[in-house]
Amino acid sequence: MTLPEMQRCIVHLDLDYFFAQCEEVRDPHLKGKPLMVCVYSGRSEDSGVISTANYEARKFGVKSGIPIVIAKKYLIDIPESIFLPMNRDLYSDLSQKVMAIAREYGDPIEQTGLDECYIEITRRLNKDFEGSEDLADLLKEKIRKLVGLTSSIGIAPNKLVAKIASEFCKPDGLKLVRPEDVLDFLSPLSINQLPGIGKKMLVRMNDLGVSEIGDLRELKLEALIREFGKSQGLYFHDAAHGIDNLPVKERGEAEQIGRIVTLKEDSNDLNFIKGSLESISGDVYDRCQERGVAFRSLGVILITDEIKTYSRSRTLDSKSISRQKILELGCELTEIFLRENPAIKIRRIGLKLYGFEATDNQTSLSQFMN
């Protein structure tokens, strides 16, 4: 079976007990003992919280976010326990090494934290999902060999299920969820395995009789929207059905999309300038479409015949993806500028869009997922 068109294969890679494991890489003697990385507040010797702990410490109930004093109580009978301060440079150095390796295994990759990323491997597979496990095994092995870290990998037809799968198989695991198995995989999982369900939401869900993802699937979309509002309701409905169409996107892309052109001649005639604004609008609009984003803010850049630069901008009440809107706003801002500055002639004109948000078919999920 070849991958049907539009069928994606996504890897979610998450490094195990990351900060603490980095410390073990730095000093292998630390291995095998309960190890805590601490965020010391500095108020008193032990004030602060646990950033993360290795699995030996977790056996005693230590976890991220608990006070250091509590962790010390849990480990009172284990004198070889180790408490270390944060060493951010080390974590970011090892993180960069891992991400560079991940990049060799797919394209694009979306880094969502120091210790995790999504990798789109669809185009690396020419047969079916089976090849994906071998690929992920190679990736895990390479990270272990070259960086010294263990990781957990989920493979699924979308980011949501891949993330749940990597969490599911921790530590040092690999979990493939084939498209036909998505619903069976999700059904028995506790509802708080879904990204975006914290303690409060868990209580609300339990009150509705929902404790597993399968229970959530029983609820109708209308009922979910009534209970949680449109965007959350949609998210829960899609998530319960294992649906997520969000693309894997490189981070750190330009925060704005813009273009500047030189007018055929210097001018303060809006009708003449409008011709250029039309073509720039089309261009920035196309680039928004390619990236699948809507914008909230638009600015015009006006460069005068004396090479002075001015700009005017506007933020909308709600996001827009309309080419017409871009042109209208561009003209409006230019007109206001020209009215206020009748003596100025424009040599170059530009538009920029920023304040990006996901387009509508993406909103429900993107609010809750990395």
Chain CA centroid to CA 358, Å: 12
Stretch that binds ligand DCP, among 9-17, 259-267, 315-323, 333-341 (CB under 6 A): 9-17
Query: What is the distance between the alpha carbons of residues 253 and 235, in angstroms, rounded to a whole number?
Result: 25
- Does position 192 bind ligand DCP by CB under 6 A? no
Task: Choose among 9, 153, 135, 23: nearest CA to 88.
Answer: 23
> Which partner from the list Ca ion, ligand DCP, none does 171 bind, CB cut-off 5 to 8 Å by kind?
ligand DCP
DSSP code, position 61: T
Residue 83 found at the interface with ligand DCP (CB under 6 A): no
Q: How far apart are CA 257 and CA 287, in angstroms?
A: 7
Choice from 24, 56, 110, 116 touching Ca ion (CB under 5 A): 116
| Amino acid identity, position 186 | L
16, 24, 120, 244: residue in contact with ligand DCP (rule CB under 6 A): 16
Q: Which residue number, 111 or 158, has a Cβ lying nearer to Ca ion?
A: 111
**Cα 11 to Cα 122: distance, rounded to the nearest angstrom:** 9
Can you spell out the DSSP letters for 286-332? HHHHHHTEEEEEEEEEEEETT--EEEEEEEEEEEE--HHHHHHHHHH
Quick one: 22 or 293, whose CB is closer to ligand DCP? 22
Least gap, CB of 370 to Ca ion (angstroms): 9
370 scored as a contact of ligand DCP (CB under 6 A): no
What is the distance of C-alpha 280 from the center of its chain?
30
**Contacts for 240 with CB less than 8 Å, ≥ 6 apart:** 186, 213, 214, 216, 217, 219
Closest separation in Å from C-beta 88 to ligand DCP: 10
**Chain Cα centroid distance, residue 191:** 21
65 binds ligand DCP (CB under 6 A): yes
* Contact pick of 67, 108, 171, 196 for ligand DCP (by CB under 6 A): 171
* Given the residues 116, 180, 278, 335, the one annotated as active site: 116
Report if residue 18 touches ligand DCP, rule: CB under 6 A. yes
Q: Which residue in this structure is represented by tokens 């004109």?
A: 349
Q: Is 56 in the site for Ca ion (CB under 5 A)?
A: no
CB 88 → Ca ion: shortest distance, Å?
16
Residue 18 or 74 having the CB closest to Ca ion: 18
Cβ count near 309 (within 10 Å): 11
Residue nearest to Ca ion (CB): 116
23-62 mask for ligand DCP (x: CB under 6 A)?
----------------------------xx----------
Q: Is 151 in the site for ligand DCP (CB under 6 A)?
A: no
8 Å CB contact between 10 and 155: yes
Secondary structure class of 15 (helix, strand, coil): strand
- Which of the stretches 115-123, 174-182, 267-275, 285-293 binds Ca ion when contact is defined by CB under 5 A? 115-123
Task: Report in angstroms how near the CB of residue 103 gets to ligand DCP at its nearest.
Answer: 20
Catalytic (active site) residue 328: no
Alpha-carbon span 53 to 68, nearest angstrom: 11
**Residue pair 51/38 in contact by the 8 Å Cβ criterion:** yes
CB 164 within 8 A of CB 191: no
Binding stretches for Ca ion (CB under 5 A): 14, 18, 115-116
Residues acting as catalytic residues:
116
Q: Which residues are at the interface with ligand DCP (CB under 6 A)?
A: 14-19, 51-52, 64-65, 115, 170-171
